[in-house]
Chains A and B, each alone.
Chain A
Amino acid sequence: NAGVTQTPKFRVLKTGQSMTLLCAQDMNHEYMYWYRQDPGMGLRLIHYSVGEGTTAKGEVPDGYNVSRLKKQNFLLGLESAAPSQTSVYFCASSDPTGASNIQYFGAGTRLSVL
């Protein structure tokens, strides 16, 4: 029972480099989310998707892009990494069609930008 899987788990980038974080879920959830977590800031929503082929901006979208080409995958891209993007990134998925919208999280990706 994999649930939500994030790759990679750790990454170090130099300023200006690009990278893509991959999130995969096997629960057939419609909704997927990307968050960043910084010390003392809680979880902040970067982008989210309500279905295959759709994406929307969250609270802190600047400097990030996303794509949802397949229902089970949600990609987060950094085109030109900056030190301010050093953070722990979490992906989550949910099925909001019932009485709840419980989000299930991946284990996170720790990113350092030097």
Chain B
Amino acid sequence: EDKVVQSPLSLVVHEGDTVTLNCSYEVTNFRSLLWYKQEKKAPTFLFMLTSSGIEKKSGRLSSILDKKELFSILNITATQTGDSAIYLCAVEDEGNYKLTFGKGTLLTVNP
């Protein structure tokens, strides 16, 4: 059974801080790892990682995958209040195209 564990489950920081969110996983046939941001409503796609060691970057957000150690991190630099959200990590099993989600990290950025 595929499994995704995210840590920490919640985090409170001040604007301008840098945060690192963790995602470890177990999957039978790894195809990809995805990060989503969920504010009030629908999860929205951030990054997809398929190759180990390659960093994906978008503005202040970046993510890297370690396929050997089976984890990924999501970094957010110079945090803003608009970064407050639940960040979800999911892994895709190549055999069935389903995503298995972690429980998420609730990030709160205070002014």
| Partner pick for A107 among B41, B45, B101, CB 8 A cutoff | B41
* Stretch from A13-21, A40-48, A75-83 at the B interface: A40-48
CA A31 to CA B98, docked complex, whole Å: 10
> Separation in Å of the A93 CB from the closest CB of chain B?
12
Chain A residues whose C-beta falls within 8 Å of the C-beta of B50 in the assembled complex: 99-100
Chain B residues whose C-beta falls within 8 Å of the C-beta of A44 in the assembled complex: 101
- When the two chains form their complex, are residues B98 and A58 in contact, meaning their CB atoms are under 8 A apart? yes
A-B pair count, CB < 8 Å, reads: 50
- When the two chains form their complex, are residues B103 and A40 in contact, meaning their CB atoms are under 8 A apart? yes
CA A108 to CA B106, docked complex, whole Å: 18
- When the two chains form their complex, are residues A48 and B43 in contact, meaning their CB atoms are under 8 A apart? no
| Partner pick for B103 among A42, A94, A102, A107, CB 8 A cutoff | A42
Whether A101 contacts B104 in the complex (CB less than 8 A), given A31-B97, A90-B42, A94-B97, comes out as no
Chain A residues whose C-beta falls within 8 Å of the C-beta of B98 in the assembled complex: 33, 45, 48, 58
Chain A residues whose C-beta falls within 8 Å of the C-beta of B88 in the assembled complex: 42-43
What size tier do the contact residues of chain A reach? Answer: 20 to 34
How would residues 10 to 44 of chain A score, 1 for a CB under 8 Å from any chain B CB and 0 otherwise?
A: 00000000000000000000010101000011111
A–B Cβ pairs within 8 angstroms, 24 of them: A4-B42, A33-B98, A35-B101, A42-B88, A42-B102, A42-B103, A43-B43, A45-B98, A48-B98, A90-B42, A94-B97, A99-B50, A100-B48, A101-B31, A101-B97, A101-B99, A102-B34, A103-B45, A103-B99, A104-B45, A105-B42, A106-B42, A108-B41, A108-B42
Q: Enumerate chain A interface residues (CB-CB to B < 8 A).
A: 4, 31, 33, 35, 40-45, 48, 50, 58, 90, 94, 96, 99-108
10 more CB-based (< 8 A) A-B contacts, given A101-B31, A102-B48, A105-B44 = A33-B98, A42-B88, A42-B101, A43-B90, A48-B98, A90-B43, A94-B97, A102-B34, A107-B42, A108-B42
